[in-house]
Amino acid sequence: MDRDTALRLVEERVPNQNLVNHMLATEAIMGALADRLGGNRERWALAGLLHDLDVAETAELFEEHGLRSVRWLREEGLDDEQVLQAIGSHNPANGSQPTSTLDRALFAADPLTGLVTAAALIRPEKKLELVQLKSLKKRFKEPSFAKGARREDIATCEELGIPLEEFLTIGLDAMKSVAADLGL
């Protein structure tokens, strides 16, 4: 599946623009992580873009989140099992566990977008370009800040061989590269 087709699916199935922005941010981070970890950039970015395709439909059935996306994507002709596995396993509540490097990268990157976005939104200018790593590291240590950005999941970047500070840098830089698309 190419990016244009994937983006069309996101636009059709995801009614919430903030969620679309989250998916675009995850796509950017996953592309950067592929570069850092020697993964296939297109495949990793696709997993990031499509990972929350079913959120609107699974809000009340969180144990279905990810699995429903995998079914839909198969119906749409996506046959890349590595991408499908990553999408399914980014939500352990559905019984899946991240096993590959791609899976683990998506699991760690997913909540990072919320932390970075919140760090931009608390600024008066609400611009990503002004967020600095020092500030992001400070906010990471504040559990009451961006509560939904699960710190323990972000910290699994260490399992990928990426120290937390480097992971935060990769995520921040990747999101800054698509800030216009995110409205930040």
pLDDT of residue 101: 98
Instruction: Specify the pTM.
Output: 0.96
How many domains is the chain partitioned into structurally?
1
**Per-residue pLDDT at 59:** 83
CA dist list (Å): 139 to 7, 130, 166, 184: 31, 15, 15, 18
**What CATH number corresponds to the domain at position 102?**
1.10.3210.10
CA distances from 52 to 56, 88, 89 (A): 9, 10, 12
Per-residue pLDDT reduced to its tens digit, 37-64: 999 999 999 999 999 999 988 988 888 9
Number of CB atoms found within 10 A of residue 59's CB:
10
The residue range of the domain holding 58 is 3-182
CA triplet 56, 60, 65: central angle to 5 degrees? 60
- Mean pLDDT of successive 10-residue segments in the chain (184 residues)? 96 95 98 98 98 91 92 96 97 93 98 98 96 97 95 98 98 98 96
